[in-house]
Chain A
Amino acid sequence: MPVIDYANPSRFVALADRVLPWLMGATLLAFALGIWSAYLAPDDYQQGATVKIMFIHVPAAWLGTFGWVLMSAAALGTLVWRHPLADVAAKAAAPIGAAFTLMCLVTGSLWGRPMWGTYWVWDARLTSVLVLFIMYLGVIALWRTIEEPARAAKVVAVLTLVGAINIPIIKFSVDWWNTLHQPASVLRLGGSTIHPTILLPLITALVAFTLLFLTLHLAAMRNEIMRRRVRTMLMMQADARA
């Protein structure tokens, strides 16, 4: 079957039904490995055991921004190619991206208090991630405010693409401005600055959380297609009664 056929929502749901059990299994396996390797990881020579917060904070930060990048790609799909599943993907990603951004903010604050001496500081990195979280809430509110999904999709797509400006600001904020937050230490020119005994559990956690995001996103997309079916049937019911 050509890939383009999966643009049909019914075929996509059938595909999701087949893929989801495998994705869930892979997620559970990755988490088992991630938790085990995080447990075995040594303390950092400066941060002590608080370095273990990194195994949840960094994946949450990655998925908070990944969610918005995914929504931006879907926004292009809605506005340029009018792909029937693009706005379904965007709508399903918003609450998941918001949840991971919240996790990033909470775990970052709890890591910051013992390391920096404060839960929060209004520096560029922390503030830009807070802005990302607020933008997620704005997008979720907009989806709920506009009843017609096709019209909501266009408005949300424009807002999402405008908000995408914040993604490079988040990434490079630690280079462009003086911040309490440390500069990039995983993805950087010249290689990672993290010792392999801590880097390996971190990469395992990144894989596990990314698989979790993809599983939840696929399941939420399937739900969104069902929601639109329910809406269509309710409208037909109302038409029949009129």
Chain B
Amino acid sequence: MDLGPHAAFIVTAYAAAIVIVAGLIVWVIADRRHLARALDELDAQGIARRSQGASKEKP
């Protein structure tokens, strides 16, 4: 594909878009993993939210 005399601007614009979108995806995935780990650790310590405790008490 011939991008003409302004190829550097086109390629840089697409590269910037890829970096920003990849950054967003990595942020969402890393945040979820970090939070899931924190929840697991708290669960392992036997800490339950009120709603969890209430649901466990129900027959």
Which residues in A have some Cβ–Cβ distance to B below 8 Å?
10, 39, 43, 48-50, 52-53, 56-57, 60, 95-96, 99-100, 102-103, 106-107, 110-111, 113-114, 212, 216, 219-220, 222-223, 226-227, 229-230, 232-234, 236-237, 240
Bin chain B's interface residue count.
Answer: 20 to 34
Known contacts A222-B32, A223-B35, A53 near B9 by CB under 8 Å: yes
Q: Mark B18-59, 1 if CB is under 8 A from A, else 0.
A: 001101110110011001101100100101110100000000
27 A-B pairs (CB sep. < 8 Å): A39-B1, A48-B4, A49-B2, A49-B3, A49-B4, A53-B9, A56-B13, A95-B24, A96-B24, A102-B20, A106-B13, A107-B13, A107-B17, A110-B9, A110-B10, A110-B12, A110-B16, A113-B9, A216-B25, A219-B28, A220-B28, A220-B31, A223-B32, A230-B39, A233-B39, A234-B42, A237-B42
Residues of A within 8 A of B49 (CB): 229, 232-233, 236
Query: Assuming A216-B25, A233-B49, is B16 touching A103 (CB within 8 A)?
Result: yes
* Chain A, interface SS category: helix
- Residues of B in contact with A (beta carbons under 8 Å apart): 1-7, 9-10, 12-14, 16-17, 20-21, 23-25, 27-28, 31-32, 35-36, 38-39, 42, 45, 47-49, 51
Minimum CB–CB distance for B39 against chain A, Å: 6
Q: Which of B4, B13, B27, B47 has the most CB of A within 10 A?
A: B13
